[in-house]
Amino acid sequence: MKEVPISFEYEGKIYKGTFSPVSGSGAGVWHLMINGYYFGKLQLTQNYGWAFHGNKFEDMGEYFGDYITLWYE
């Protein structure tokens, strides 16, 4: 898998970055990088679906997950 570019709006600000698949973790874990900085981890879980863990964008897990899914379809 390769990096997935993303551009999105959050609380009135536009962010541009990439989701990078985490090597060795299977197909369900991605790191969000913006301007060379790590912003958090997107993870697909069996029980809860997509979840994002980071200092920001905690409520964006489903949005990010849907974006990744559509990118690969």
pLDDT tens for the chain, 73 residues long, are 689 999 999 999 999 999 999 987 666 899 999 999 999 999 998 888 999 999 899 999 999 999 999 998 8
Query: What residue spans define the domains of the chain?
Result: 4-72
Strand ranges across the sheet with 37-45:
4-10, 13-21, 29-34, 37-45, 49-54
Cα four-point dihedral sign 49, 40, 34, 14: positive
Alpha helices in the chain (DSSP H): 61-72
Question: What single letter denotes the amino acid at residue 3?
Answer: E
Residues of 16-29 as b/e, b for ≥16 C-beta within 10 angstroms?
A: ebebbbbeeeeeee
